[in-house]
């Protein structure tokens, strides 16, 4: 059996063989809610970073927030009066929220909170500050000094025409505040003279945040000053003639360094809705995703898929399957030592998904997500939940780690039920069977319940036995088990379907179920 390496380890070993130190850059333009699709970038970077550290590579992870980019338009989620801010840097526009901070921080701050809970340790570098501190001064000078060569590369590789007097620098107009409406007139180190469409003329000091490089030059410039050696980015930048191609050639032939190792990742799509995009409003925010699954599961979603594989994300029932799959990997990781060779990359995917890798102890108690979906709708508090879990899952003891994980999962499931779960999994349990439901039972349904009243007192009370009894007891009396299932759901929930019945009944005491059956029969008579 060939040992299969995890993709992050493959990249890490490439980085190791090319020497070091390694600087991995990820980032975003914080112009709207940061969705789970964007999470792929920073998690991909973090997985490569962690794999590099494991391989003794000198590695650092950065998160570059492009808050010095202009607001491109009034997005649907913004009030109309944001028209006056279009074209200004995001870091210089007021927050659209209640706070008195900046536009960019309004979207960035909650995301950075999520990033920490995912166990990602990235140094955050807002571009507004990097420009202000003069980090870009040297590459800006080199690019402006070589403006003919820059222009030739951009025109040839990206197949577009630039004006003859074009200069690669966008000044910020101190009069109208826009950074996208000025035209550079001349370069006289360290100043760029400009004229704005508002009429204002002035000079920008390129060693400060008086202006910035256009995107296709900003990218190689940051590789240059930060020493970036590896960078994950979406496939849009990887197209032939796209920004990675132009940036790479500019990096090599003008800035004189090698471009970073690219890690191109595919989109995350929302099932049935197409690619996620903050501007189109097709969004599950990264924060939402973290609230509906434990952080390990979000890491796992990215770790178990090759970056080149597109991910279909179903925030409805798909979440239950995703957590089930995570649980299977966890079990393998802790229990199947002999499969190390064959399942090396699966074990590693799980290992890289852990937020805290210090647990070398026994496997934590796994409570299936779909069971929790039922349980949290029956009990509110952690103690009650814990007791019910121990009873229904047949667990005699629950250590601190497992209790903590149970609480985390219960909170996630409640959030999911509230925001994303389909109606079919939600229910309210009747205190006792209501008259209407009893009246509507057919003769066959009543027979099925009477049969259960006879059989259920005879068994040991657990999910499997109950399930078996419903099947066999019904069949023994020529009743379709489906009828029996439906009868229970009607008198307990007032619906035709519900949670898996054997498990569901086992969450309640036998006495309680028998009492509810007796009330039903009393009401019939």
Q: Give the binding site for Zn ion (CB under 5 A).
A: 173, 175-176, 196, 198, 200
| Closest among 467, 457, 463, 435 to 511, alpha carbons compared | 457
Cis peptide before 373 (omega within 30 of 0): no
Strands (E), 144-260: 170-171, 182-188, 191-196, 201-205, 211-212, 230-234
Q: Which is nearer to Zn ion, 196 or 463 (CB)?
A: 196
User: To the nearest whole angstrom, how small is the minimum distance from the Cβ of residue 220 to Zn ion?
Assistant: 28
* Closest distance to Zn ion from the beta carbon of 372 (Å): 57
Query: Distance between CA atoms of 23 and 226, rounded to whole angstroms?
Result: 8
Beta carbon nearer to Zn ion, 6 or 85: 85
Return phi, psi of residue 246, to 5°. -65, -45
Contacts 24+ apart (CB under 8 A), 90-95: 90/29, 90/30, 90/31, 90/66, 91/67, 91/126, 91/128, 92/128, 92/177
Indicate the residue among 198 and 382 with the shorter CB distance to Zn ion.
Answer: 198
Which residue's CB is nearer to Zn ion, number 176 or number 390? 176
**194 vs 503, which CB is nearer to Zn ion?**
194
78 or 173: CB nearest Zn ion: 173
| Shortest Cβ 176–Zn ion spacing (Å) | 3
Query: CB under 8 Å to 347, separation ≥6 — which residues?
Result: 329, 332, 333, 339, 340
Least distance from C-beta 82 to Zn ion, angstroms?
A: 18
- Pick from 360, 285, 292, 369: nearest CA to 326: 369
Minimum Å gap between C-beta 170 and Zn ion is 12
Gap between the Cα atoms of 191 and 202, Å rounded:
10
Q: How far is the CB of 203 from Zn ion (least distance, A)?
A: 14
**CB of 210 closer than 8 Å to CB of 204:** yes
Closest to Zn ion by CB, 124 or 198: 198
Task: Using the minimum distance from each CB to Zn ion, give the nearer residue, 176 or 275.
Answer: 176
Q: Nearest distance from residue 89's CB to Zn ion, in Å?
A: 13
Work out how close the CB of 178 gets to Zn ion at its nearest, in angstroms, rounded to a whole number: 6
Nearer to Zn ion, 196 or 413 (CB): 196
The CA distance from 185 to 174, in Å, is: 16
Q: How far is the CB of 211 from Zn ion (least distance, A)?
A: 12
Between 176 and 483, name the residue whose CB sits nearer to Zn ion. Answer: 176
Angle at 439 between CA 520 and CA 476, to 5 degrees: 60
Helix, strand, coil percent values for the chain (each to nearest 5): 50, 15, 35
Q: Smallest distance, Å, CB 204 to Zn ion?
A: 12
Q: What is the DSSP letter of 269?
A: E
Q: Is 227 helix (H, G, I), strand (E, B) or coil?
A: coil
Q: How far is the CB of 172 from Zn ion (least distance, A)?
A: 9
Smallest gap from Cβ 71 to Zn ion, in A, equals 15
| Neighbouring-strand partners of residue 194 | 184, 202
Residue written as token pair 């996208």 = 180
Cβ nearer to Zn ion, comparing 203 with 273: 203
Q: How far apart are CA 509 and CA 325, in angstroms?
A: 31
| Residue 145 backbone dihedrals phi, psi, to 5 degrees | -65, -30
Residues with Cβ < 8 Å from 115, sequence gap 6 or more?
A: 42, 63, 122
CB nearer Zn ion, residue 176 or residue 519: 176
In the complex, least distance from residue 175 CB atom to Zn ion, rounded to whole angstroms: 5
Residue with tokens 């009868």: 487
Residue (87 or 259) nearer to Zn ion, CB: 87
Strands 22-28 and 182-188 turn out to be unpaired
Cα–Cα nearest to 362, from 324, 400, 307? 400
Tokens of 181: 């409406």
């Amino acid at each position: 059996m060939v040992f299969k390496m995890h993709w992050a380890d493959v990249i890490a070993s490439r980085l190791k063989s090319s020497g070091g130190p390694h600087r991995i850059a990820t980032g975003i333009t914080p112009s709207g809610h940061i969705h789970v699709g964007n999470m792929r970038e920073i998690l991909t970077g973090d997985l490569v970073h962690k794999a590099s550290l494991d391989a003794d590579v000198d590695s650092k992870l950065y998160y570059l927030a492009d808050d010095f980019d202009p607001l491109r338009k009034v997005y649907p989620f913004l009030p109309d009066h944001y028209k006056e801010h279009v074209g200004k840097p995001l870091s210089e526009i007021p927050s659209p929220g209640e706070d008195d901070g900046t536009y960019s921080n309004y979207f960035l701050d909650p995301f950075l909170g999520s990033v920490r809970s995912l166990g990602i340790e990235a140094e955050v570098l807002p571009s507004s500050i990097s420009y202000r501190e003069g980090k870009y001064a040297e590459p800006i000078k080199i690019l402006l000094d070589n403006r003919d060569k820059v222009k030739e590369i951009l025109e040839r590789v990206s197949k577009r025409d630039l004006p003859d007097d074009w200069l690669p620098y966008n000044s910020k107009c101190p009069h109208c505040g826009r950074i996208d409406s000025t035209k550079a007139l001349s370069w006289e180190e360290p100043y760029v003279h400009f004229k704005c469409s508002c009429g204002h003329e002035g000079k920008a000091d390129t060693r400060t945040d008086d202006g910035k490089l256009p995107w296709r030059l900003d990218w190689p410039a940051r590789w240059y000053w930060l020493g970036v050696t590896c960078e994950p980015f979406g496939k849009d930048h990887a197209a032939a003639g796209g920004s990675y191609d132009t940036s790479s050639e500019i990096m090599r032939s003008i800035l004189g360094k090698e471009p970073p190792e690219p890690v191109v990742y595919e989109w995350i799509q929302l099932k049935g809705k197409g690619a996620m995009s903050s501007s189109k409003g097709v969004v599950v925010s990264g924060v939402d995703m973290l609230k509906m699954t434990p952080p390990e599961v979000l890491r796992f979603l990215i770790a178990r898929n090759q970056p080149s594989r597109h991910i279909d994300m179903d925030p409805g029932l798909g979440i239950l399957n995703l957590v089930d799959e995570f649980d299977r990997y966890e079990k393998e990781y802790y229990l199947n030592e002999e499969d190390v060779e064959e399942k090396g990359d699966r074990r590693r995917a799980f290992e890289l998904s852990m937020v805290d890798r210090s647990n070398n102890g026994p496997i934590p108690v796994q409570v299936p997500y779909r069971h929790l979906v039922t349980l949290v709708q029956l009990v509110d508090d952690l103690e009650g939940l814990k007791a019910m879990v121990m009873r229904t899952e047949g667990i005699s003891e629950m250590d601190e780690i497992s209790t903590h994980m149970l609480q985390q999962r219960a909170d996630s499931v409640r959030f999911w039920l509230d925001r994303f779960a389909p109606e079919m999994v939600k229910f309210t349990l009747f205190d006792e069977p209501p008259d209407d439901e009893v009246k509507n039972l057919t003769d066959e349904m009543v027979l099925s319940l009477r049969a259960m009243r006879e059989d259920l007192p005879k068994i040991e009370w657990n999910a499997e036995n109950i399930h078996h009894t419903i099947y066999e007891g019904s069949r023994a009396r020529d009743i379709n088990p489906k009828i029996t299932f439906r009868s229970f759901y009607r008198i307990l929930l007032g619906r035709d379907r519900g949670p898996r019945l054997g498990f569901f009944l086992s969450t309640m005491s036998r006495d309680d179920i028998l009492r509810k059956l007796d009330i039903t029969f009393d009401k019939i008579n």
